[in-house]
Amino acid sequence: MKVVIARGRGKVEMTDIPLPQPTAYQALCKIDACATCSGTDQKIVAGTLPWNTDYPGILGHESVGRVVEIGKRVRNIRPGDTFLRPTAVYNGDKLGDYFSLWGGFAEYGLVTDTQALLEDDADAKPNGYCVFQQKIPSGIAPADATMMITLKECASFLANVGAKFRNSLVILGSGPVAAGMTYFAKLYGMYPVIAIGRRDQPLAELRKIGADFTINNTTEDIVTKVKEITSGRGANLVVDCAGDAALITAASQLLAEDGRLAPYAVGHEFQYKLDRVPGPGAWEFVFAGPNEDLAHQYLLDLHRLNVLPLTSFYSHRLSFNQFLEGFEMLKNKQASKIVFEMET
């Protein structure tokens, strides 16, 4: 099968390796599509993640696949079922010579029947990645379904950091995660939602998703503009989707006196050193992770009610064989989020 291998230091390639072999409690999936998590994937390829990463590894974590074979002890998964996040190799394991870099950019991957495993052995310890391998209705197009992974993170993160009806929100960044945050902020009834970024075209896309105001921080003073939009009060909540420690620190000046500053892109376990800017008020940093698995039913309900425009959250669909071309597009800012389809 074809897989995408990252070797660090900017080296990425497509190669052929044998299929993963499911255990008794696993199912083999034909992966239909996998999307880029643009910032994370590019950092993996470049070797710049803020933690130790084993190379070479199979890249990708926004995959969708159909079950084609089940292990002899699998009881809760059926051939034809569709799952999010099938992986060619689980975290902590290897497939041949390759580690797991979440393993979704592959033609085939595994999911695990954790319910059956734990029923048969209460002391078993399923791989932590299994919690994200959740079943979805077969009627969702695979390319669209890949978007549910990031969107579940965005929806749950905003809830975890205290997004509230009629509270004001500033989003730092204008990429795919910022789009997800913008959309759910409006679903939660936040107003005004203000997005700050460096490029006009992505900011225009955020206005289509629901941003009430956008600010280009290369040409406008963000403190003046936010204070103007919020009638001098500042924002109730600032969420970082850019991963820029200097911008996060500066963003304290955008907050209301009792506001909250919530870094998302820097990660919880690997926070940058954030220096609080002295000033009046009792604003606070809020560090909280998303709960992708807990947001699953919420996203399915939104899709069932026809209020989740999944096609709005990716910019391009390419065939799997165009992977190198697609990554060049991301690197050169010619695309924001790409879905690679395995048989297109």
Q: What is the pLDDT of residues 9-28, one digit of tens each?
A: 888 999 999 999 999 999 99
Q: To the nearest whole percent, how much of the chain has pLDDT over 90?
A: 80
pLDDT number for residue 287: 77
Give the residue-averaged pLDDT of 178-202.
97
Same domain, yes or no: 164 and 82 = no
Rg (CA), the chain: 21
Has residue 328 got a pLDDT over 80? Answer: yes
Is residue 44 domain-shared with residue 142, that is, in the same domain? yes
What six digits make up the tokens of 56? 């070479």
pLDDT bucket at 8, cuts 50 / 70 / 90: confident
Domain that holds residue 69: 2-146+314-341
Q: What is the pLDDT of residue 196?
A: 96
Mean pLDDT for 88-115 is 97
Backbone angles phi, psi at 171, to 5 degrees: -110, 125
- The set of residues, in sequence order, having a beta carbon less than 8 Å from that of 25 and lying 6+ positions away, is 71, 73, 74, 112, 113, 114, 116, 117, 120
Q: How much is the pLDDT for 269?
A: 44
Q: Are residue 101 and residue 14 in the same domain, yes or no?
A: yes
Q: Find the range with the poorest average confidence among 7-21, 65-79, 161-175, 246-260.
A: 246-260
Q: Are residues 8 and 134 in the same domain?
A: yes
Question: CA nearest 175: which of 206, 144, 212, 149?
Answer: 206
> Across all residues in the chain, what is the average pLDDT?
92
In a domain, 294, yes or no: no
By the 8 A CB rule, do 29 and 111 touch?
yes
pLDDT of residue 274: 52
The answer to whether residues 340 and 318 touch, using CB atoms and an 8 Å cutoff, is yes
- pLDDT of 280: 47
Is 308 within the bounds of a domain? no
Question: What is the C-alpha separation between 161 and 163, in angstroms, rounded?
Answer: 6
What is the structure's pLDDT at 47?
A: 78
Instruction: Name the one residue in this structure whose structure tokens are 């924002």.
Output: 235
Cis peptide bond upstream of 192, omega within 30: yes
Can you tell me the distance from the alpha carbon of 18 to that of 52, in angstroms, rounded to the nearest whole number? 27
Residue 32: the pLDDT is 98
Tokens 């500053």 found at: 261
Contact indicator for 61, 21 with CB cutoff of 8 Å: no
CATH number of the CATH domain containing 242:
3.40.50.720
CA–CA separation, 319 vs 323, rounded Å? 7
Q: Report the number of distinct structural domains present in the chain.
A: 2
Helices (H), the chain: 38-46, 114-120, 142-145, 147-160, 176-187, 200-209, 222-229, 245-250, 296-304, 323-331
pLDDT of amino acid 163: 96
The token duo for 310 is: 């999944």
Q: At what angle do helices 200-209 and 176-187 cross, to 10 degrees?
A: 30
Question: Are 56 and 105 in the same domain?
Answer: yes
pLDDT band at 286 (very low <50, low <70, confident <90, very high): confident
- pLDDT value at 265 more than 90: no
Task: Answer whether residue 291 is part of any domain.
Answer: no
Record the tokens describing residue 20, joined without a space: 């993963």
pLDDT at 18: 96
**Band of pLDDT at residue 43, cut at 50, 70 and 90:** confident
Tens digits of per-residue pLDDT, 152-176?
A: 999 999 999 999 999 999 999 999 9
* Strands (E) located in 36-156: 57-59, 62-70, 82-84, 94-95, 98-101, 108-112, 135-136
Q: What is the pLDDT of residues 296-323, one digit of tens each?
A: 999 999 999 999 999 999 999 999 999 9
Asked if 128 and 171 sit in the same domain, the reply is no
Quick count: other Cβ atoms within 10 Å of Cβ 52? 5
Q: What is the CATH number of the domain that holds 86?
A: 3.90.180.10
Q: What percent of the chain has pLDDT over 70?
A: 94
What pTM does this model have?
0.93
The reply to whether 140 and 126 lie within a common domain is yes
Flag whether pLDDT at 295 surpasses 60. yes
**Spatial separation of the C-alpha atoms in residues 178 and 181, rounded to whole Å:** 5
What is the rounded CA–CA span in Å between residue 276 and residue 2? 47
Non-local CB neighbours of 111 within 8 Å, separated by 6+ positions: 26, 27, 29, 65, 67, 77, 83, 85, 86, 130, 133
Give pLDDT, residue 279.
46
157 and 271 in a common domain: yes
- Letter string b/e over residues 285-300, b meaning 16 or more CB atoms within 10 A of that residue's CB: ebbbebbbeebbebbb
Residue 7 sits in the same domain as residue 133: yes
Secondary structure letter of residue 275 according to DSSP: P
What pLDDT score was predicted for residue 270? 43
